[in-house]
A and B are shown apart, each in its own frame.
Chain A
Amino acid sequence: MTATPPAVGPTLSVRDLHLAIAGRRRDTPILRGVSLDIAPGEVHGLVGESGAGKTMIGKAVLGIQPSRARIAAGSVLFDGRDITHLPERERRRLMGRGMGLIPQDPMTSLNPAHRIGAQIADVLRLHLGLDRAAAGARTLELLNEVHIRAPERVVRQYPHELSGGMRQRVSIAIAFACRPKLIVADEPTTALDVTVQRQVLALIKRMQAQEDASILFVTHDLGVVAKICDRVTVLHGGRVLETGATRRIVEAPGHDYTRALIAATPRHDRPGGLLRPVPEALTARLDAEALAYDAARGSHG
């Protein structure tokens, strides 16, 4: 955190976001007052175990949370503009040019029925108003930028003809196609094997630096966070446990849970080191805190 206030406001600002999944009897809280800021050009990691609500934050930012999810309180500000309850038509205008998504599973993130070239060109034509020829040319450029060999051949192929890593590169090309200010990357390397993972991470980092985009990087892997993120927010039970510069969080974690997460992460610089699961007592304590939070919130209204 810098001492002087930044000259420009944050690209993304999530303020005290409460989100619950509506149930038959009662709602199940998923996010319990999450706040985070992402500065322009910042890569912000969002770590936590499964069920911590990290993916849901990404979805709420993009407005693609499941229909049963209800934003009970709080807001999402994009470039200072409240987009929490944006009507569909305005949100569509924001998508692509303002925000993009790099999805988790490269097996399902591309439409199996359309050729790669058409999937990229459609986005370009929709948002940038390019004609067919210009969109086709730009598609080849984009595929080149994400290091796909023989793009002339790939544009005519269907997703199932490409490897997982190739598909993820195509997804990255689509996400960056219209130069958005913010990209939500939802576990973009989880489904890939380790060598491909490293290449894809390097690619995301390079594209991000080149376009000066901000990234909300959702992951459960602190190792990945250490490689790519400027700042990190640690999440558990839909609550922010701590937030700070990556180096500070990794080297001097301020919360027991962060410390436990680090102990549970394999380290490349210390191979063979013992991995410890997050202690059950700690998880139980955090769960109790979350329930206490719900109870307190409920009694206040």
Chain B
Amino acid sequence: MAEAAAVTGAASPTGGTARRLLANPRVVLGGAVLVFFALAALFAPLIAPHDPVEQDLLLQYVPPAWSDKAEAGYLFGTDNLGRDILSRLIYGARVALFVAVAAAAAAGLLGTALGLLAGYLGGWVDTVISRLVEIWMAFPAVLLSIVLVAVMGTGLHSVIIAIAVIDWTRFCRVVRAETMAQKQQDYVASAVTVGLGRMRILWREILPNVLPLLIVLFTLEMGIAVIVEAILSYVNLSLASDFPTWGGMISDGRKYVNQAPWLMILPILCVIALVLALNALGDGLKDALDPVMRR
């Protein structure tokens, strides 16, 4: 994959990049899984066969369709309250992806802004921001997120803020290092010698060159956000428990794991599939995007 990317490195930027992305199996596979979940989340009301919170106590613990005791119309079976699992998984994807995008964007915005400033301005600005990052990273992340949500109250916005507040350091450190590397490039010296201002150089000259890296970081951060959201909803710190979240479903299913293991296994599989897809996509993008901007 890396060789293929290097060989096509001289092609035109737009066509070459697209071709390189499509030639990378991790990008294609990860992207396909992500698109699959994204479409499910987007069109949840249209494709979900049942209301995800509607209970039917006559149809409890219906096993998935591949079992001989399956019920027609319930592909993945029902849970302890007779709610359709497929519909709950589809609506759960909504929550998972919304949190992933919003939290990664918020963390990315904060971390990138601070990382750019630290890397470009250096001096005391860099010292202050870098020390802050180090102190921040010394806190255990999961504990900090639970404390944050406990303080702010449960709910999606708290989950998003908690992830952003904790994970901006990832963006900050990487963007700072990349900004410092970009700053050494001659094109920055050239920009200074044609009289461009410092902030303009930072935003218009350096930031576009950090962008490929940001796309990669953003994808990886989405994967992290999906896990954190699952953890927080598992301990009931995300949405109210009757609203379907993958973490909440895992938590509910744990109680009935002996009579109905699919209650727990199916949402776990969803989390794993989405996180794997995001990580594969991030890694693939890193390989595919790197040579373009490096040369």
A: residues with CB less than 8 A from B are 62-64, 67, 88, 92-97, 99-101, 103-105, 107-114, 122-123, 126-127, 158, 160-161, 171, 174, 177-178, 184
Pair B194/A126 contact, Cβ less than 8 Å: yes
Pair A88/B198 contact, Cβ less than 8 Å: yes
Pair A126/B196 contact, Cβ less than 8 Å: yes
Pair A67/B122 contact, Cβ less than 8 Å: yes
Chain A residues whose CB sits within 8 angstroms of the CB of B295 once the complex forms: 107, 112, 160
B67 on the interface (CB 8 Å rule)? no
Pair B293/A113 contact, Cβ less than 8 Å: yes
B73 on the interface (CB 8 Å rule)? no
Q: Identify which of B55-63, B181-189, B271-279 touches chain A.
A: B181-189
Q: In the docked arrangement, what's the CA distance between A95 and B193, Å? A: 5
B65 on the interface (CB 8 Å rule)? no
Known: A112-B295, A161-B10. 4 other contacts (CB 8 A): A62-B192, A63-B192, A109-B186, A158-B13
Q: Known contacts being A107-B295, A108-B185, A114-B208, is A101 close to B13, with CB within 8 Å? A: no
Residue of B nearest to A171 (CB): B190
Q: In the docked arrangement, what's the CA distance between A126 and B195, Å? A: 8
Q: Can you list 27 contacts pairing A with B, beta carbon distance less than 8 Å?
A: A62-B193, A64-B193, A67-B122, A88-B198, A92-B195, A92-B196, A94-B195, A95-B192, A95-B193, A97-B195, A99-B193, A101-B190, A103-B186, A103-B189, A105-B186, A109-B187, A111-B205, A111-B208, A113-B208, A113-B211, A114-B208, A122-B194, A126-B194, A158-B13, A160-B9, A161-B10, A161-B12
Chain A residues whose CB sits within 8 angstroms of the CB of B13 once the complex forms: 158, 160-161
Determine which of B10, B189, B190, B194 lies in contact with A160 in the assembled complex, contact meaning CB atoms within 8 Å. B10
The 10 A-B residue pairs whose C-beta atoms are closest, nearest first, are A95-B195, A113-B208, A101-B193, A109-B186, A96-B195, A103-B186, A108-B186, A111-B187, A108-B185, A92-B195
Q: Known contacts being A64-B193, A95-B192, A103-B189, is A112 close to B123, with CB within 8 Å? A: no
Residue of B nearest to A111 (CB): B187
Tell me which residues from 176 to 220 in chain B have a Cβ below 8 Å from any Cβ of chain A. 185-187, 189-198, 205, 208-209, 211
Q: In the docked arrangement, what's the CA distance between A88 and B9, Å? A: 38
Proximity bits, B270-295, A CB within 8 Å = 1, else 0: 00000000000000000000001101
Residue of A nearest to B192 (CB): A64
Q: In the docked arrangement, what's the CA distance between A256 and B9, Å? A: 49
Chain B residues whose CB sits within 8 angstroms of the CB of A108 once the complex forms: 185-187
Pair B194/A109 contact, Cβ less than 8 Å: no
Q: In the docked arrangement, what's the CA distance between A94 and B292, Å? A: 34
Pair A111/B209 contact, Cβ less than 8 Å: yes
Q: In the docked arrangement, what's the CA distance between A108 and B12, Å? A: 18
Q: In the docked arrangement, what's the CA distance between A24 and B293, Å? A: 35
Q: In the docked arrangement, what's the CA distance between A179 and B189, Å? A: 19
Q: In the docked arrangement, what's the CA distance between A168 and B65, Å? A: 67
Q: In the docked arrangement, what's the CA distance between A62 and B194, Å? A: 10
What does DSSP make chain B's interface, helix, strand, loop or mixed?
helix
Nearest CB in chain A: distance from B177 CB, A: 17
Pair A110/B208 contact, Cβ less than 8 Å: no
Determine which of A67, A93, A161, A171 lies in contact with B195 in the assembled complex, contact meaning CB atoms within 8 Å. A93
Determine which of A95, A112, A158 lies in contact with B194 in the assembled complex, contact meaning CB atoms within 8 Å. A95
Determine which of B189, B198, B292 lies in contact with A101 in the assembled complex, contact meaning CB atoms within 8 Å. B189
Chain B residues whose CB sits within 8 angstroms of the CB of A178 once the complex forms: 194
Pair A100/B193 contact, Cβ less than 8 Å: yes
Chain B residues whose CB sits within 8 angstroms of the CB of A107 once the complex forms: 295
Which interface residue of B123, B190, B209 has the most chain A CB atoms within 10 A? B190
Residue of B nearest to A104 (CB): B186
Q: In the docked arrangement, what's the CA distance between A286 and B131, Å? A: 44
Q: Known contacts being A103-B186, A160-B295, A161-B12, is A111 close to B195, with CB within 8 Å? A: no
Nearest CB in chain B: distance from A299 CB, A: 32
Q: In the docked arrangement, what's the CA distance between A105 and B190, Å? A: 11
Nearest CB in chain A: distance from B119 CB, A: 13
Q: In the docked arrangement, what's the CA distance between A160 and B9, Å? A: 9
Q: In the docked arrangement, what's the CA distance between A64 and B185, Å? A: 13
Which interface residue of B122, B185, B186, B193 has the most chain A CB atoms within 10 A? B193
Pair A67/B123 contact, Cβ less than 8 Å: yes
Q: In the docked arrangement, what's the CA distance between A96 and B192, Å? A: 9
Q: In the docked arrangement, what's the CA distance between A114 and B211, Å? A: 13
Q: In the docked arrangement, what's the CA distance between A95 and B293, Å? A: 27
Which interface residue of B9, B10, B191, B195 has the most chain A CB atoms within 10 A? B195
Chain B residues whose CB sits within 8 angstroms of the CB of A109 once the complex forms: 186-187, 189-190
Q: In the docked arrangement, what's the CA distance between A110 and B191, Å? A: 9
Nearest CB in chain B: distance from A195 CB, A: 21
Chain A residues whose CB sits within 8 angstroms of the CB of B293 once the complex forms: 112-113
Q: In the docked arrangement, what's the CA distance between A107 and B198, Å? A: 22
Chain B residues whose CB sits within 8 angstroms of the CB of A161 once the complex forms: 10, 12-13
Proximity bits, B1-45, A CB within 8 Å = 1, else 0: 000000001101100000000000000000000000000000000
Q: In the docked arrangement, what's the CA distance between A122 and B192, Å? A: 13
Which interface residue of B123, B186, B194, B295 has the most chain A CB atoms within 10 A? B194
Residue of A nearest to B207 (CB): A113
